[in-house]
Amino acid sequence: MTDALRKDRIPALPAVDILVVGAGSAGCCAALAARVSRRHSVTLVERYGFPGGTSTQMLDTFYGFFTPGDSPRKVVGGIPDRVVNALDRAGRIYLRPNTYGAGTGVTYDPEFLKFTWDTLLEEAGVRVALHAHLVDVEEGADGLRAAVLWTKRGFFRQPARRFIDASGDADLCALAGMPFERAGDLEPAQTLTTTFRMCAVDLGRFQSAGGKSMLAARMEEAVASGRHPLPRKAGSAHAMVQPGCIATVAVRVADVDATDHEQLAAAEREGRRQAYVFEAFFRDCVPGFENAMIIGLSHHIGVRETRRVYGEYRLTRQDCLEVRRFDDAVLLCGAPIEDHRAARDGGEETEWTLIPGGRAYDVPYRTLVPKGRDEVWVAGRCFSATHSAHASCRSMGQTMAMGQAAGLAAALSLETDCGARSLDTNELRERLRRLGALLALPATPADTSARGWANNFSS
Ligand SMILES: Cc1cc2nc3c(=O)[nH]c(=O)nc-3n(C[C@H](O)[C@H](O)[C@H](O)COP(=O)(O)OP(=O)(O)OC[C@H]3O[C@@H](n4cnc5c(N)ncnc54)[C@H](O)[C@@H]3O)c2cc1C
């Protein structure tokens, strides 16, 4: 063993008040919220060279801001609104209905979003440590004491008083030995998707040839005739903010444990292979795509679920479908259960179950607190939920709202010198409201028209 690997020889970085691991949509919002009072030092650790996680690595549409249906209600606000407004000010956003009825999406320029996260984090005074991997943790008598990070210069200990695990995979909690459910252990894990983007698309020609319904028919024909071996006949392609470009969620790779690097590597290769099968199909069979080409594959294959921590409360399918209320609610969710699974015939079956009545259920604070812990919160796709509940509560509107709640909670716990479990959730809810978070369904529908949509996002 080299000295670099000996924990007692690892140099310590200056201690911080709050350490957030993972700069995805949840982690960025957690770090921003933790800095709202400007009282505490916050470091955000990210393994890649840019913030945003899935929001910038592979996607371009925030879902979860609005409930689906003809009478949409806006259910997310506060810091997530600031993100949308910053993109809007730069003219890099538009609203569009979801292909499968999941509600209105906020489509953005994902490259500009990297820069937007950079700017918001810098303005808030968050120290962002990019190209730094969390690889271990150090426990003391009172719980977690430090995270061990790996960078090109070797290992560093990062001491902190509070920790937020927003790594998507619950890496921090897993390293600390906290219990979690691994996707696939109890129910089939959701499939993985390499997203791809195409340029030189004649969208006018595509629309006049029938648009989405024509695309679905062409996929059916291509598979039935054996002309293009598409992995699935469903999948969406939508116009990006950049003119003449489309983004897709079409590739499908099943039965992968994305915490196993060999399985993940095989999935990455398979995702790329499938993307080019789709490219050939689009160019050959879809009007408007004759000259189109792939200009970008997702930086990382899209992983819908891996580990979900067991928290002080676990959100369940029943909670979602019975539209349950909780006294310690810190966010709302009206998104359908959207569960992408492999079907027995090798195709895909996707469950779409709407939340009854176009309403939104409460997500309790306790789903963000790992069981028995006082110094750690979890935010984003590794929060405490069953497989089905997570399949509903995983859109970025909700992951940003979780981050916002966890960041405020960590700051409040330092301010009031109490642990995560004894936090005054009334005070937390009050602070969330002051920030613009929505904790009750608005009485009036949101205006999602091209003219009025921007008024929904508070400044
Ligand atoms: C294929 C697919 C399509 C989807 N479509 C949509 C959609 O259209 N709209 C929508 O709203 N939602 C969609 N979702 C869901 C949504 O994107 C995710 O649930 C959400 O982005 C998760 O955010 P997060 O911040 O929890 O995790 P992530 O975005 O995964 O962020 C985690 C961050 O932590 C970093 N990290 C991980 N481990 C470490 C470590 N050990 N050390 C340092 N850093 C680390 C990662 O690099 C990453 O930046 C989709 C998901 C997938 C997979």
- Cα of 445 to ligand 1 centre, how many Å? 29
Domain match, 120 and 172 both: yes
Ligand 1, atom nearest to 394 Cα: 19
User: What residues make up the domain containing 170?
Assistant: 3-187+306-342+356-451
pLDDT of residue 411: 98
- The SS3 assignment for 182 reads strand
Candidate from 119-133, 233-247, 316-330, 425-439 with smallest mean pLDDT:
233-247
- DSSP-derived pairing of the beta strands 42-45 and 127-129: parallel
CA nearest ligand 1 atom 48, residue: 53
Judgement on whether residues 164 and 262 belong to the same structural domain of the protein: no
Alpha helices per DSSP H over 35-109: 54-57, 79-89
Domain membership flag for residue 349: no
Considering only CA atoms, which of 14, 21, 74, 69 is closest in space to residue 309?
21
Structural domain includes residue 202:
yes
- Nearest CA-CA partner of 338 in 348, 347, 346: 348
Mean pLDDT of the chain: 94
Helices 396-415, 79-89: crossing angle, 10 deg rounding = 130
Q: Is 456 domain-assigned?
A: no
Strands (E) in 231-359, as ranges, are 236-239, 246-249, 293-297, 307-309, 329-333, 337-342, 348-353
Q: Given phi > 0 = left and psi -120 to 50 = alpha, else beta, which region is 323? A: left
What percent of the chain has pLDDT above 90?
Answer: 87
Residues 151 and 252 in one domain: no
Secondary-structure breakdown of the chain: helix, strand, coil percentages, each rounded to the nearest 5? 35, 25, 40
Nearest CA to ligand 1 atom 14: 395
Question: How far, in Å, from the CA of 128 to the mean position of ligand 1?
Answer: 18
Same domain? For 133 and 181 the reply is yes
Residue 447 inside a domain? The answer is yes
Contact by Cβ (8 Å): 169, 156: no
Cα angle 326, 37, 157; round to 5:
95
User: Which of 60-64, 232-236, 333-337 is predicted with the least confidence, judged by mean pLDDT?
Assistant: 232-236
* Residue of minimum CA distance from atom 45 in ligand 1: 22
Q: Which residues contact 113 (CB under 8 A, 6 or more apart)?
A: 52, 55, 56, 83, 87, 92
Q: Helix, strand, or coil here: 138? A: strand
Q: Residues with Cβ within 6 A of ligand 1?
A: 21-27, 45-48, 53-55, 59, 61-64, 133-134, 166-169, 171, 193, 249, 302-304, 380-381, 394-396, 399
Q: Is 274 in the same domain as 148? A: no
179/213 same-domain check:
no
- Whether 457 is in a domain gets the answer no
CATH number of the domain encompassing residue 71: 3.50.50.60
Name, in order, each residue with C-beta under 8 angstroms of 418's C-beta and a sequence gap of 6 or more. Answer: 424
pLDDT at 201 over 90: yes
CA distance 267 to 272: 9
287 and 337, same domain (yes or no): no
Contact of 149 with 134, CB cutoff 8 Å? yes
Do 144 and 19 touch, CB atoms closer than 8 A?
A: no
Contact 48, 134 (CB under 8 A): no
Domain count, the chain: 2
Pocket test of ligand 1: the residue of 20, 54, 333, 387 to mutate, having most ligand atoms within 8 Å of its CB, is 54
Is 173 domain-assigned?
Answer: yes
The pLDDT score that the predictor gives to residue 346 is 56
Same domain, 13 and 159: yes
Shared-domain flag, residues 202 and 146: no
More confident of the two residues 15 and 232: 15
Claim to verify: residue 183 and residue 201 sit in the same structural domain: no
Q: Indicate the range of 55-69, 98-112, 192-206, 431-445 predicted with least confidence.
A: 98-112
Asked if residue 350 is part of any domain, the answer here is no
Q: Are residues 45 and 108 in the same domain?
A: yes
Of 297, 315, 330, which residue sits at a domain end?
297
**Phi and psi (nearest 5°) for 21?**
-105, 120
**Could you tell me if residue 404 is inside a domain?**
yes
Judge if 33 and 158 occupy the same domain: yes
Query: Considering only 8-12, 123-127, 131-135, which range has the smallest mean pLDDT?
Result: 8-12
